[in-house]
Structure 1
């Protein structure tokens, strides 16, 4: 797996470095913490490579890795319309790498290769990075896991909007705690997470269109069948809101002039025929 990852995927992945990353590096020189800061970023990169390895095994395309002042984000192209379980596996892969590094550090400490102080710093750093990433805030790993779990209960649009809305609330609470305890690092993290979640919420209509397009391109007839019963006067747009990740939908239109409507027919009407506001019964 790792050989294929290095040979096939890494040359195609763009690595973007946030401007504040360089500010943190500069401050580390001034404060004499360069080794510690660089160690943290190595941990972050290994964490992100766990995501990349999992995405590779799932057949997804990782387009870029963003290095931020307090972590990293791997951007995956095929994640929107995929199986929720695949999303969970991909999200868990990052913290799994942190646990692996913790076990390795414990071994190096017991073997006398690392000092107790350095092993403790390395282990603590991994726990902090893994724990932070498992917070239920999108796009952190925990937020992705929560959103994927919600997709088992609700259609994608409902699950994603609820996930982003709760992420805004959690980020706002984090910001309040950071201000109360006068913690600048927590404030910076909260402001960033609050900004990207509000931005994602505003841009969600475009994200939803991407979800619909990925379902249409994938041709997911091989997925488990889910039947959806609809009133004949429900609009095409409202019917599209019933679509879920990891399922192929067959719509049962009730009434004397009702019938069956396949998922691809609905997607064509939404994406290409500009028929979002007509009744689904007119597609029969």
Structure 2
């Protein structure tokens, strides 16, 4: 790892929640929630660290956190799933420990409620929540990289709109609107930056270990270009494309295609 302890920052939205808690006389509850948020994120960081991820930064948010790590766009799906699920697993573990050993504690019910809220909210199929990342990883198991990202953003936007309508039906709660607003911003920002993220994925594939994982053969049409083939690359999977040219069969693996792709003029990348 580049550093044993990653840089830790507090997102502005968490300060807003702290202010709202102070104004409503629930500052002690906020500190308790902040403690559980930290434990949730420690679960992610610990799993990533054990798997050898290069963690650069952790930003704490009202619902958990965002971990920035280098070179994870082409990580294996199972590996990233473990890191994604480790945060919610911590909340489940806390609920079990509280139920077994601390059921007589005065803050028992509030702590159970907080961890359940963190668990349920984080498992919503909305990017960049843990549930949204799991939807993305599921889509990435059978779709090319860009298509998987587009699908999770579409599902996220639908989920955000649905939750917004549900909130309007209930009593007005500013904190939920702030959370949805943040997820909406993240989703739209992800869509905006997707072309750049896709290029980073291609670069990671080019530099990846060709011996990692089993090669998956795929027969493709003769007229497909390198630019077409590179867009068929899937996250965390080694691929071999079989092409037929003038009666001859040629095989090209994914790293070879990525290498040729980056030798093309930059104007032809998109």
**When the two structures are superposed, what TM-score results if normalisation uses the length of structure 2?**
0.91
Q: What residue is the counterpart of 1:32 in the other structure? A: 25
Give yes or no for the alignment of 1:94 onto 2:102.
no
The separation in 2 between residues aligned to 1:103 and 1:197, in whole angstroms, is 33
The separation in 1 between residues aligned to 2:158 and 2:14, in whole angstroms, is 26
The separation in 1 between residues aligned to 2:108 and 2:38, in whole angstroms, is 19
CA displacement, residues 23-73 of structure 1 (integer Å, 9 cap, x when unaligned): 332333332211110110110111011000110111112211112244322
- Root-mean-square deviation (CA, aligned residues, Å) is 2.1
Greater per-residue helix proportion: 1
Q: What residue is the counterpart of 2:264 in the other structure? A: 273
Aligned counterparts, 1:1-284, within 5 A: 9-10=4-5, 13-110=6-103, 112=104, 114-115=105-106, 118-181=107-170, 182-256=172-246, 257-274=248-265
Q: Secondary structure at the match of 2:4?
A: helix
Contact preservation (8 Å) 2:142, 2:234: no
The separation in 1 between residues aligned to 2:239 and 2:43, in whole angstroms, is 33
The separation in 2 between residues aligned to 1:129 and 1:142, in whole angstroms, is 12
140-149 or 244-253: which moved more? 244-253
CA displacement, residues 151-206 of structure 1 (integer Å, 9 cap, x when unaligned): 22222222121111211221122222223323322222222111210111121111
69-78 or 84-93: which moved more? 69-78
* Structure 1 residue 150 displacement after superposition: 1.5
Aligned residues: 266
The separation in 2 between residues aligned to 1:270 and 1:164, in whole angstroms, is 26
Q: Secondary structure at the match of 1:138?
A: coil
14-23 or 119-128: which moved more? 14-23
The separation in 2 between residues aligned to 1:219 and 1:269, in whole angstroms, is 17
Contact preservation (8 Å) 2:81, 2:137: yes
The separation in 1 between residues aligned to 2:164 and 2:181, in whole angstroms, is 7
The separation in 2 between residues aligned to 1:233 and 1:145, in whole angstroms, is 35
Contact preservation (8 Å) 1:174, 1:187: no
Contact preservation (8 Å) 1:224, 1:246: no
* Structure 1 residue 135 displacement after superposition: 0.6
Higher relative contact order (CA 8 A, sep 6+): 2
The separation in 1 between residues aligned to 2:152 and 2:227, in whole angstroms, is 21
Q: What residue is the counterpart of 1:281 in the other structure? A: none
Q: Secondary structure at the match of 1:99?
A: helix
Q: What residue is the counterpart of 1:282 in the other structure? A: none
The separation in 2 between residues aligned to 1:275 and 1:189, in whole angstroms, is 38
Structure 2 spans left out of the alignment, 5+ residues: none
17-26 or 92-101: which moved more? 17-26
